[in-house]
Structure 1
Amino acid sequence: MPFSIVPLLLLIVPMAEIAAFVIVGREIGVLWTLALIFVTAVLGSILLRVQGFGLINKIRRETEAGRVPGRELVHGVMILIAGVLLLTPGFITDTIGFLLFVPAIRDAGWTLIKNKISVVSTAGFTQHSSGPGPKRSDAPTIDLDEQDFERDPDPNSPWNKDKP
């Protein structure tokens, strides 16, 4: 999304939400409108918790299997955005938020952006469990004794700047 669209969205979205509040409030009344906003916020927090924990488990399983969980990470970002949208008062943001909780819609979003992003794993990744996964075995191990290691700088070192 180009940066020039962001200020326009910051103006248009609140105006559309105010218009939606006026229309819905006129049809069902002010108290029911406020109750509906409260219910969507509570429902959104429950959905965020349930789907968030499920997604964390999927990410853990993918990393334990030695695969980079790119799809799951993008789904996690979409679920986080959905939770924020549902906690934001408004009917338009709530609609978008509820749509982002639908896995088929998140998959469609993943299909649109998966060729535009790359998930890179670090070369120094080490798995601490005994399960399968990437292990770094090509790096040499340097084992120092206590007399070989000291924290104080060596005054005879050519890189010592305090040398007279």
Structure 2
Amino acid sequence: MPAIVVLLMWPLIEIALFVVVGGAIGLWWTLLIVVGTGIGGVVLLRRLGLSNATRLRGEMARMRDPVGAVGDGILKALAALLLILPGFLTDALGLLLLFSPVRSALISAASRKMAVVSMQSDQPARRSDGIVIDGEFVEVEADGPKSPMPKDRPSGWTRH
């Protein structure tokens, strides 16, 4: 029930903040702030896209727990989206999420409730000297592979 109340009260709070802030600083400054934070959110969201994917890929390649990288990327994207939405409350929450200590606190609180159990990599195993050994395998049945040739005829593969 509290989530419904928050969703119903959110637009009313935003409207009240528009009236109060607009009355204090004027219409044009209010519009400039709303449009400016929206543009800032779009720029931030565009910049985050590739960097988050690169950071996550790096964490996975080092076989580290990706919760921190994923959480940080999600919270930065959420901050950008909150900045894009018009309103002073959403802008304040978006700006708050841009601070690293706030994101770290939220990530640590969430990571206490969830954890990575196991990780596997599809990258080839590397030796300690840096040489990659790539190989293929074929599963062989217990009674051996089925030969399409009858056993009484030579297969042509060997000399008899």
Q: TM-score, normalized by length of structure 1?
A: 0.70
Selected match of 1:112 from 109, 112, 115: 109
Distance 1:20 1:30, change over 3 A: same
1:94 counterpart = 2:114:
no
Deviation at 1:128, TM superposition (A): 6.2
Instruction: Name the counterpart of 2:39.
Output: 42
Q: What amino acid is the match of 2:21?
A: V
Distance, in Å, in 2 between the alignment partners of 1:115 and 1:83 is 25
Deviation at 1:122, TM superposition (A): 5.8
Distance, in Å, in 1 between the alignment partners of 2:37 and 2:20 is 18
Distance 1:8 1:128, change over 3 A: farther
1:12 counterpart = 2:9:
yes
Deviation at 1:32, TM superposition (A): 2.1
1:126 counterpart = 2:122:
yes
Contact 1:44–1:83 under 8 Å retained in 2: yes
Contact 1:68–1:119 under 8 Å retained in 2: yes
Contact 1:85–1:93 under 8 Å retained in 2: yes
1:103 counterpart = 2:100:
yes
Instruction: Name the counterpart of 1:65.
Output: 62
Q: Give aligned-pair identity as a percent.
A: 32
Contact 2:59–2:66 under 8 Å retained in 1: yes
Contact 1:64–1:131 under 8 Å retained in 2: no
Deviation at 1:117, TM superposition (A): 1.3
Contact 1:68–1:121 under 8 Å retained in 2: no
Q: Deviations over 1:6-44 (max 9, x none)?
A: 211111111111110001111222222112101001111
Distance, in Å, in 2 between the alignment partners of 1:7 and 1:90 is 19
Return 37-46 or 23-32, whichever deviates more.
Answer: 23-32
Distance, in Å, in 2 between the alignment partners of 1:10 and 1:25 is 23
Larger Rg, first or second structure (1 or 2): 2
Contact 2:14–2:87 under 8 Å retained in 1: yes
Q: What amino acid is the match of 1:111?
A: S
Q: What amino acid is the match of 1:27?
A: A
Distance 1:130 1:5, change over 3 A: farther
Return 13-22 or 30-39, whichever deviates more.
Answer: 30-39
Q: Deviations over 1:78-112 (max 9, x none)?
A: 12221221111101111111111222210111122
CA RMSD of aligned residues (A): 2.9
